[in-house]
Structure 1
Amino acid sequence: MSGERSQIIEDEIFILRDSGEIPEIALHATLHYLTEDPDGPGLSLHPEEYHALLDAAAARFRDIVLRDLEPSNRDLSIYRGIARTIINFHRFKSFCQRTGHDWGSFPDLLRDRLVHFLENELEEVGRGERASSVNCTVETLEGFLVELEMDPALLPEGWEQLCLSPEHE
């Protein structure tokens, strides 16, 4: 059963890693299948197996949060904008708090990606290549910066012009 057990866990990690929009639901479905579902293998998970599944769900959360800060995604149907990044960040933060998962250096990566995204957006909008895809107000983005413990001075000059006016949010 050891090799089979390990394959079952690996399969579930793969499924979690490629899950849809709500990794926490996928994690709970996986845990139910592995441990309680009459059609499942009926495992008692070892701590390292549980943590591997938790890590897979967290990795999926990270991908979802960062997805809307990738300039190449702006024209794809999956793109939801910075407003969605903020929502998904809150979901991931809550997940980490509830599960005790340490997200490590993820906030650093998120800050870097946000700066890169806004720099790219300013360049392309400035050249007239596209309209701004930033779908939140200055106030909303400033609130997010506070949550990220990020100094607004780290953002590129003129980033505010990319944001929605309050009446359009």
Structure 2
Amino acid sequence: MTETDSWLAEELLIVRHSGEIPEIAFHSSLYYLCEDPDGPQLTLGQNELDLLRQQVVARYREILLRDLSPENRDARIFRGLKRCIFNWERLGKFCTRQTMEIEATLRQEIAEALRCFLQQEADEVRAGLRQSCLNCTREELDGFAREIGVGPEELPEDIEMLFCSQS
């Protein structure tokens, strides 16, 4: 492994395991690797840039799935559906700025996670096992569902109750 490979590998890890806004880590890594007077001042090729971009997408995937996991609803790490929608928008903006498309497989994975999340939420609220944890409006949910390819017919029939039980 060359010194360049070593620097890049370290930055890939930093971006992949970054916090809630992975594109900030992406830009910090680009600055460090290419422009920082104390950095290696590399000229990255398309392959290296793509690897860094892929880590941003991988981190967003992890964040989105975290907030669409029913197991996390009562955990401190859970940010709710509103944050999930916001992070999807962030991912979309990042991809647009980087002239990338959100891969169909990622879109499908998030769509399936949303369908499962909402169905479990509706089932448990209907059964009286919990109050709804939805922290977004119906309009926000509908827009997000449309964006990821989930049609109204794929949402739970009694989804309105999830919004009515909000305090």
- Tell me if both proteins adopt one fold, taking TM over 0.5 as the criterion: yes
Equivalent position amino acid for 1:125 in 2: V
User: d(CA) in 1 for partners of 2:137 and 2:41?
Assistant: 49
Q: What is the aligned partner in structure 1 of residue 7 from structure 2?
A: 8
Equivalent position amino acid for 2:156 in 1: P
User: d(CA) in 2 for partners of 1:26 and 1:15?
Assistant: 7
Q: What is the aligned partner in structure 1 of residue 17 from structure 2?
A: 18
Q: How does 1:24-63 map to 2 (within 5 A)?
A: 24-63=23-62
In structure 1, stretches of 5+ residues that fail to align are none
User: d(CA) in 2 for partners of 1:74 and 1:20?
Assistant: 19
Q: RMSD of aligned C-alpha atoms?
A: 1.8
Q: Do the aligned partners of 2:60 and 2:87 also contact (CA within 8 Å) in 1?
A: yes
User: d(CA) in 2 for partners of 1:11 and 1:76?
Assistant: 30
Identity over the aligned pairs, expressed in percent?
Answer: 43
Alpha carbons of 1:164 and 1:89: their partners in 2 closer, same or farther (altered >3 Å)?
farther
Q: How does 1:97-108 map to 2 (within 5 A)?
A: 97-105=96-104, 106-108=106-108
Equivalent position amino acid for 1:57 in 2: V
User: d(CA) in 2 for partners of 1:56 and 1:69?
Assistant: 20
Q: CA deviation at 1:155?
A: 1.3
Q: CA deviation at 1:164?
A: 5.0
Q: What is the aligned partner in structure 2 of residue 157 from structure 1?
A: 157
Q: Do the aligned partners of 2:122 and 2:162 also contact (CA within 8 Å) in 1?
A: yes
Q: Structure 1 residue runs of 4+, over 3 Å off? A: none
- How many residue pairs match? The answer is 166
Alpha carbons of 1:165 and 1:141: their partners in 2 closer, same or farther (altered >3 Å)?
farther
In structure 2, stretches of 5+ residues that fail to align are none
